[in-house]
Amino acid sequence: MKFSLCIGAYQGKDAIYHLEKIKENGFHGLEYYSWWDLDLEKISKEQERIGAGIIATCTRYFNLVDSSRRAEYLAGLKETIEACKILGTQSIITQTGNVQDGVSREVQQQAMIETLKQCAVMCEDADVILEVEPLNGLVDHQGHFLQYSDEAVSIIDKVDSPNVKLVFDVYHQQITEGNVIRNATKYAERISHYHIADNPGRNQPGSGELNYVNILKAIKETGYNGFVGLECGYTKNTDEALEEFSQTILNQVFPSEAGAR
């Protein structure tokens, strides 16, 4: 299991600063969402120098439920794949967009499936994973179409591609449906990437109600060896928070490795 930080972990600092801090703190990669803001060739060289890289980015557009926007979405995905080739990034995160008023849920699901099937071909050719992320609609993303893990899995299963999977965001799913460990492990084969933050507040693990020792142990026991991203704010100095996370959570999840990820 590998751990990544997300851009913004160090407020006001750029991608290069984040990559240096990731290396310094013993983490494994950076999630940088708006790849189009970067000088891709420069970042590629800096990644090689530092020894840490951008492991996930986002699609240019976030709308899978409106078939009239399919061409725009696919064009944006094509651009994103080209950026990933330069950066060496293998994961592309997407959301679904908001519910369309007056359109049945079944029609919107089918639009998602049809678009994702076309995405799958592109991603298989490029050897990247497109990761669909459910979001909570109660606190942070009112109206977002895809919120529940079981519905997300049913859609992914109909796409039926090894290159279209899920992001399981523990914070979002705690708010939406609870039952975190059961769902995070039940659907492990469809999950490419986990995000973690505590609730309430969406701050660093250990600052709220979620037992991240038990959650991460359960994920570890599935054999998962991909990235877990700290997509969170910090209630204290980021370096101090990361050291506390390593000492109080990771050292219990990986005791034989003395906190090494």
The strand ranges marked E within the chain are 2-6, 29-31, 54-58, 91-94, 129-132, 164-169, 191-196, 227-230
Q: Residue 199 has which token pair?
A: 């609730």
Phi, psi at residue 70, to the nearest 5°? Answer: -60, -45
Is 133 among the residues known to form the active site? Answer: yes
Instruction: Name the active-site residue from 177, 231, 240, 244.
Output: 231
Q: What is the spatial distance between Cα 148 and Cα 165, in angstroms, rounded to a whole number?
A: 14
Token digits of residue 82: 């080209």
Question: Residue 127 — left, alpha, or beta (φ > 0 → left; ψ -120 to 50 → alpha)?
Answer: left
In the 8-state DSSP scheme, what is residue 51? Answer: T
Catalytic residue among 48, 114, 133, 221: 133
Residue 252, burial from CB neighbour count under 10 angstroms (0-12, 13-18, 19+): middle
Radius of gyration of the chain (CA): 18
Q: Which residues are annotated as catalytic?
A: 133, 231
